[in-house]
Copies of this chain bind each other. A is one copy, B any other.
C-alpha cells in the first residue's frame, strides 16, 4: 500500500514570500533582504500582510517554488498524495488555490486537496510543511521546509530540507 503523504501549499509549493516581497516593492518601494526576515512571522515581516492576503489574485498569482512541479509529478505516482492547506482564514483564497493547483499541478485531482483551519485532524504517514505548529501535532514522519520564518528555530523533531531536490532524494 502506498504511504500517505501530506504536502502544504504556502511556503512549500507556492512562493508566498516572493509574492509579499513583490507587492511590498511595487506598493511601498521597500526591498527587504531575506536575512532581515529570519525568525519573523509573515505577519511581522510584511507591513501590509493583512491587506495582501485578502487581495484578489494574491494567492492565484504566486509562483510555484522551484522544482516543486517536477518533483510532485514523480512523488504523485509513488505516494498517496494529499495537498493540505490552512486556507480557511482567507475565504477569498479558497477558489484561487484550486485554480492555482489546476494551472500549475494539473496532475493533482480535486480528491487530493484539503483546505482546513487546523491540520490537527489530518492523518497520514509523512507531512511536509514550513510551520512547526502543523508538524508538531502530526503523528507520522515530519519534514520541515525551510522558510525565513522558521530558520532561527529547531526543536529537533523534524527533518529540515531547503528545496525540492532534497525532498526528492528523501522520498524517491
Q: Which residues of A contact B (CB under 8 A)?
A: 4, 6, 82, 88-89, 91-92, 94-95, 98-99, 109-118, 121-124
Contact = CB atoms under 8 A, between A and B. Distances in A.
A163 B98 CA distance: 34
Nearest to A122: B121
Copies of this chain, tallied across the complex = 2
B91 A92 contact: no
Given A94-B94, A114-B116, 8 more contacts: A6-B121, A88-B98, A91-B98, A92-B95, A94-B98, A115-B115, A121-B124, A122-B122
A5 to B, nearest CB: 11
B94 A115 contact: yes
17 contacts: A6-B121, A82-B121, A88-B98, A88-B110, A88-B113, A88-B114, A91-B94, A91-B99, A94-B94, A94-B98, A94-B115, A95-B95, A109-B117, A111-B117, A114-B114, A114-B115, A115-B116
Contacts of A116: 113-116
Contact of A110 (B6, B89, B95): B89
A13 to B, nearest CB: 16
Given A91-B95, A94-B95, A117 B121 contact: no
A10 to B, nearest CB: 16
